[in-house]
Amino acid sequence: MIAPRYPLEGVASWNMNTTCNYRCSYCTQRFVEDRGQLARDLPRFIAAFAALVGDWEIKLSGGEPFRHPDFIATVAALATARRRVSVVTNFASPLAELLAFCDATRARPGLISASLHLEYAEPEAFLAKLVAVKAHHAGRIVATCVATRANLVKLEALQARFASAGTELRVQPEKQDRDVIDYDDGERQQLIRLGGHNGTGEIEPSFAGRPCWAGARYFIVDHEGHAFRCYPARRYRREALGNLLDGTFALRADATPCRYDYCNCTVPQQRGMVDTRRT
Residues that bind ligand SF4 (CB under 6 A): 20, 22-24, 27, 29, 62-64, 90, 117, 207, 212, 214, 229-230, 232, 258, 260, 263, 265, 268, 274
Considering the complex, what minimum distance in angstroms separates the CB of residue 112 from ligand SF4? 15
Q: Of the two residues 76 and 267, which places its CB atom closer to ligand SF4 in the complex?
A: 267
Nearer to ligand SF4, 24 or 47 (CB): 24
Give the residue with the Cβ less far from ligand SF4, 108 or 175: 175
Burial 1-38 (b: 16+ CB within 10 A, else e): eebbeebeebbbbbbbbbbbebebebbeeeeeeebebb
CB of 225 to ligand SF4, least distance (A): 20
Whole-angstrom distance, CA of residue 10 vs CA of residue 65: 21
Residue 66 beta carbon to ligand SF4: minimum distance, rounded to whole angstroms: 11
User: Looking at beta carbons only, is 103 or 275 nearer to ligand SF4?
Assistant: 275
Cα 184 to chain centroid distance, Å, stands at 27
Smallest separation (angstroms) from ligand SF4 to the CB of 37: 12
Residue 197 · residue 172 · CB < 8 Å? yes
Residue 112 CB partners (closer than 8 Å, separation 6+): 86, 87, 89, 98, 101, 102, 133, 137, 139, 140, 141, 142
In the complex, minimum distance from the CB of residue 87 to ligand SF4, in angstroms, rounded to a whole number: 12
Rank residues 22 and 183 by Cβ distance to ligand SF4 and give the closer one. Answer: 22
